Amino acid sequence: HIGTMALLVAALYPIAVLAFVGFSQAFSPLPLCPTRSCASFSSSLLQSTSEDGMTTLLIGSLNRIGTDAHLILASQSPRRVEILDMMGLAGKFTQMPSPLDEEALQVELATQTISPEDYAKILAERKAEALGLHLKNTSDDVPEVPTFILGSDTIVDLEGHILNKPNDESDAIRMLQSLSGQWHRVHTGVALYKVSKSTEVTLVSSFTDTANVEFAGLSQEDIEAYVDTNEPLDKAGSYGIQGIGGQ
């Protein structure tokens, strides 16, 4: 069965990790996940030890975000706004949609041999990069202080098959039927880019975090009733764990 809070943490926590660790690279001596996924970096997330043996708390960098550095969330997702707010970043970042043509990118990636994990990471990278390039080309919008752009994307992976947003209600029903009673994987790609007036748009770090999810068996009546709520129609895999789909 779907563990609502567990999946929310698995899907959204990587954003918090990358935002913390990415800014720490700019403001403290903490290495940026050099040998392992940032998602497994949680045990040392809130503190690090510098070369002189002093402990540096990453929370100490938060007050510099919005003044010494600017953070832009390249997403319209209210859930991703919520996770940054929960980190203590409420009012310290701006939210801007990426100009990336996601459908065109998905068509491009469909012609390539690529793992679902890499697929999610590339989507996140391209979202953040596209916004960075847009800001760079309209230089009046680039703040004088260093600007970090945070991009993220989540996909559903059923036995190696990527389930994007459904095309219509029939497609949503088909996806939910295929997920019913099955295990699948939810991949969240996260990317952090840096842009300023004097430098190029550069990738700071990117990674993919994965949650394993088991669906309960769903009756046809439940599937059709859920699709009738319209919630699945703009969700990867045709369900939203944070909404009715988390029942």
Buried residues in 60-98 as b, exposed as e (16+ CB within 10 A): ebbeebbeebbbbbbbebebbbebbeebebeebbebbeb
**DSSP letter (8 states) at residue 65:** B
CA distances from 93 to 128, 205, 225 (A): 14, 19, 38
Residues with a known catalytic role: 153
Question: Strand ranges (DSSP E) for the chain?
Answer: 47-49, 55-57, 70-73, 93-95, 147-158, 161-163, 183-196, 199-214
DSSP conformational letter for 215: P
Cβ atoms < 10 Å from Cβ of 166? 22
d(CA 218, CA 221): 8
Q: Which tokens is 147 given?
A: 């600007």
CA pair distance 175, 203, nearest whole angstrom: 34
- Name 209's bridge partners: 188
